[in-house]
Structure 1
Amino acid sequence: MKKRIIGMILILAMVVAMAAGCGQSSGEAKETKSAETTSAVEVERPSVDMAGRAIVLPEAITSVYCSGPIGTNYIYTFDDTLLAVTNYELSDAEKMYTTQYYQNLPNLGGWYGKGNEGNVEEIIKTAPDIVICTGTDEASIAQADALQAKLGIQVVNIDSSFEAMADSYRFLGALLGNAERGEELAAYTEETINHAKEIAASIPEEKKVSVYYAEEQLGLNTDPSGSEHSRLIDLCGGINVADCEITKGYGRTEVSMEQIISWDPQYIISCVDNGNADSASYNTIMNDSQWSVIQAVKDGHVYQTPSVPQNWFDRPPSVNTIIGVKWCQSILYPEMVDYDIKEEAKTFYSLFYHYDLTDKETESLLENSL
């Protein structure tokens, strides 16, 4: 009799749980999953941010404001529903392959770039639990302290450098109470970068290919080896042919057609800015007779950077470039990679952008890129 009663109780509990699951919207299901994940891995919450600033956190963090686009990238990829607002106007390209929730967020501006400032009054009204800033240098710390005093909300700095991406995801996992999600993104990031380094290290010097990174509509701007904007060429084992000075900040050192012809690269990567195909040099390079004498053009090795919702290769030099590592190495050394970049794109977009690409969308995304 006792066993029969226990069995009935178990069945009733299962029915109630199933009914609750069926009644959830997709957003509610995501929150439930997050809660379950949070309880699975217990990690001590940080008392200092990644810049070494002491922080006092609210008991629960369910709403986040980011002072700049790179911070927004991190929080969006971690959990888009944590974003309270955006800090810039989304382009049409940035509205593709992202969640409806993200697309509907109001833009209250932010503190980044040249002279941009957020709407202090409206941000305070939104009442985010914390503010995310990026950078760990003295200037970033000073900006964070000033912003915290201005908003009256705890500011938390994360390290947005390429080398620290995996660590930043793990930090966010501890900060936001979802260590498992942080580890999931960190592990993918680490595996991608380490695998690329292994492949690059195995390429004999005489087998390495030369690459020119073409920027702006005419393709006469570039970033040489050592620039954060062209780092994927170095990482993936390519030889950046640009023999010019690094332009700090936004990059795009101006060069001449004569210089590019003398460098005669075997491969050309054409940058698309902010998802705007009109900004790319691809059509110029493929159709202007001046470029026809270059080896990359002769061999058909001119590739446009995939750029929706953000550029895979650069601009911003942020988490959007993780999939770009795989893409860059797959076009420079296709015989060395052990993956299908189309399938990798689907995996990345699902994991980071919360979007499942169709075959048709993948083909469109990679047009002129393979």
Structure 2
Amino acid sequence: MHDSPLLSRPRRTLLASALLLAGLGVQAAELTDMTGRQVQVPDRIDRVFAVAPPVVPLVYAIDPGKLVTLNFPFKPEDAPYVSPAVKDLPIVGRYTGEGLPPNPELLASTHPQLSIAWDMPFIDAKQVEQTFQNLGTPGLFVHLEHLADYPAALELVGKAIGEEARATLLANDIRARMQRVSEAVGSVPEAERKRVYFAEGPEGLFTECNDSFHAEVIELAGGDNVMHCETKAMCGRDKVSLDQVATLDPDVILVDQPKAFQTIKTDAAWSGLRAVREGQVYLVPSKPFNWMGRPPSFMRAVAMEWFANVLYPERFRWDAETEIKDFYSLYLGVKPEVVDVPAILGGK
């Protein structure tokens, strides 16, 4: 459990929440959030404000109809995989990442009953708690830094919004996927692990240190992120030169943007790299949520499987057509026949 200033929250705030719930004439349950805070939550929640971008897909997977706002727009190509329940939701700002903070008037007009925030060391938790108070909602904090955090986060939120069975199903599914991948690739000797460069940005010359949650999928899949360094800021995206990448000469390059994907595959400046010569350059899927992150989400579970199969097909056998359709059906609620796997994978 992370140390957090939230644990010293004044008792009068909890009392105010209890009085608010009593005034609304609803029963309340006391939940312990993922920072150890005791929170009084109404027994029926239909309207949830996701305070930070990673919380949107978390709630979406459980019940998209509970969301009252979005922190970011979906792209037109995401449409087949996006629930009608969120298509016309207002887009408010964010308290984390890049962009403006939420518009208070717009936010208040959505009348949320519960706010859910992202607990991270870089976040101004006191500012977020003030938002809970301004909105008059109880607020939960969830850890969503690593994929291993998701089962507990799903179970907490599922309990809070009255969707325990659905949340438990997803939580157990993530646990099972992580175990299967770990059993398949966890025993790969360090000296034999595929070395991976994660190319970010339009030129592919931003990246993540190997301790960054933005690149966690690489190590979950049994790979070795060649950038052995310490992340200095939550947003990551450390600048590197092509000479640095060439010196590291990775076995595989994972790319987060289509423009950089084309550049790396076709620009003569990249052609001397082993990964390019051997055709080991892969574009990260992003429909409707990016599989690696930004925002981080449950999609990392399928990303981990896909990339483990890319790195070690002999160890982790995985049929993309079947597995991706099943995953999208379970987590996004879409019919398997709607899922266009070649378009999602984007190519190699």
> TM > 0.5 between the two?
yes
Partner in structure 1 of residue 317 of structure 2 = 338
Partner in structure 2 of residue 328 of structure 1 = 307
Partner in structure 1 of residue 19 of structure 2 = none
State the SS of the aligned residue for 1:358.
Answer: helix
Q: Compute the displacement of 1:353 (Å).
A: 1.3
* Selected match of 1:156 from 123, 126, 140: 140
Q: Compute the displacement of 1:105 (Å).
A: 1.6
* Selected match of 1:313 from 258, 274, 292: 292
Q: How does 1:244-323 map to 2 (within 5 A)?
A: 244-272=229-257, 277-278=258-259, 281-323=260-302
Q: Compute the displacement of 1:350 (Å).
A: 1.1
Q: Compute the displacement of 1:338 (Å).
A: 3.1
* Selected match of 2:89 from 88, 105, 118: 105
Alignment RMSD? 2.2
Distance in 2, matches of 1:244 and 1:226, equals 7
Partner in structure 2 of residue 86 of structure 1 = 70
Partner in structure 2 of residue 39 of structure 1 = none
Distance in 1, matches of 2:96 and 2:209, equals 25
Partner in structure 2 of residue 182 of structure 1 = 167
Partner in structure 2 of residue 203 of structure 1 = 188
- The answer (yes or no) to whether the contact 2:211–2:230 under 8 Å persists in 1 is no
Distance in 1, matches of 2:250 and 2:153, equals 35
Distance in 1, matches of 2:35 and 2:343, equals 40
Q: Compute the displacement of 1:359 (Å).
A: 7.4
- The answer (yes or no) to whether the contact 1:214–1:268 under 8 Å persists in 2 is yes
Q: Does residue 132 of the first structure (1) align with residue 116 of the second (2)?
A: yes
Per-residue Cα deviation, 1:185-232 (whole angstroms, up to 9, x for no partner): 101111112222222222233432111111112212211211112111
Distance in 2, matches of 1:119 and 1:223, equals 31
- The answer (yes or no) to whether the contact 2:195–2:226 under 8 Å persists in 1 is yes
Q: Compute the displacement of 1:368 (Å).
A: 1.5
Distance in 1, matches of 2:230 and 2:136, equals 42
Q: Compute the displacement of 1:117 (Å).
A: 2.1
Q: Compute the displacement of 1:137 (Å).
A: 5.2
Distance in 2, matches of 1:136 and 1:265, equals 31
Q: Compute the displacement of 1:114 (Å).
A: 4.3
Partner in structure 2 of residue 362 of structure 1 = 341
- The answer (yes or no) to whether the contact 2:95–2:128 under 8 Å persists in 1 is no
Distance in 2, matches of 1:126 and 1:98, equals 20
Distance in 1, matches of 2:327 and 2:339, equals 16
Partner in structure 2 of residue 28 of structure 1 = none
Please tell me the residue identity of whatever aligns with 2:114. I
Per-residue Cα deviation, 1:153-180 (whole angstroms, up to 9, x for no partner): 2122222221311111111221122221
- The answer (yes or no) to whether the contact 1:306–1:365 under 8 Å persists in 2 is yes
* Distance change (3 Å), C-alpha of 1:230 and 1:261: same
Larger-gyration structure (1/2): 1
Which deviates more, 340-349 or 198-207? 198-207
Which deviates more, 140-149 or 262-271? 140-149
Per-residue Cα deviation, 1:118-144 (whole angstroms, up to 9, x for no partner): 232232232221111111659554233
Partner in structure 1 of residue 201 of structure 2 = 216
Distance in 2, matches of 1:204 and 1:294, equals 24
Q: Which runs of 5+ in 1 are unaligned?
A: 1-43
Q: Does residue 142 of the first structure (1) align with residue 98 of the second (2)?
A: no
- The answer (yes or no) to whether the contact 2:211–2:229 under 8 Å persists in 1 is no
Q: How does 1:67-78 map to 2 (within 5 A)?
A: 67-78=51-62
Distance in 1, matches of 2:127 and 2:36, equals 14
State the SS of the aligned residue for 1:132.
Answer: strand
Please tell me the residue identity of whatever aligns with 2:171. A
Aligned length: 320
Normalised TM-score (structure 1): 0.80
Q: Does residue 64 of the first structure (1) align with residue 43 of the second (2)?
A: no
Q: Compute the displacement of 1:91 (Å).
A: 2.8
State the SS of the aligned residue for 1:47.
Answer: strand
**Structure richer in helix, relative to its length:** 1
Q: Which runs of 5+ in 2 are unaligned?
A: 1-27
* Distance change (3 Å), C-alpha of 1:307 and 1:45: same
Distance in 2, matches of 1:313 and 1:222, equals 12
Partner in structure 2 of residue 119 of structure 1 = 103
State the SS of the aligned residue for 1:56.
Answer: strand
Partner in structure 2 of residue 192 of structure 1 = 177
Distance in 2, matches of 1:45 and 1:174, equals 10
